[in-house]
Amino acid sequence: MARKDVENLLIAGGEDKHFRAKYNVPATMDEFVTLAAEDGYNFTVEELDKILKESGDVFDKNGNPPKRSIWWA
């Protein structure tokens, strides 16, 4: 279930720029996971990190304005 929640969140971010912008704000994975839980996504920092590593994505922000490159289209 956690894997599906992470995947659904990453897909939602890939499809919706407003959703993506909201999730580009948190500075840490802990804050990101807390925000996700508020929106009904249930996963841990460890689960998020594992899936990002498996897909070759990096949680860090890049660019100006800073944003993440973790979103799936």
pLDDT of 19-53, one tens digit each? Answer: 999 999 999 999 999 999 999 999 999 999 999 99
Where does 1-73 show beta strands of DSSP type E?
A: 61-62, 67-68
Which pLDDT score, from 0 to 100, does residue 71 have? 97
Mean pLDDT for the stretch of residues 45-69: 96
Q: What is the dihedral of CA 61, 42, 38, 59, to 10 degrees?
A: 0
Looking at residue 15, its pLDDT comes to: 97
At 33 the pLDDT is 98
Average pLDDT of the chain is: 96
Q: Is the pLDDT of residue 1 over 90?
A: no
**pLDDT at residue number 73:** 86
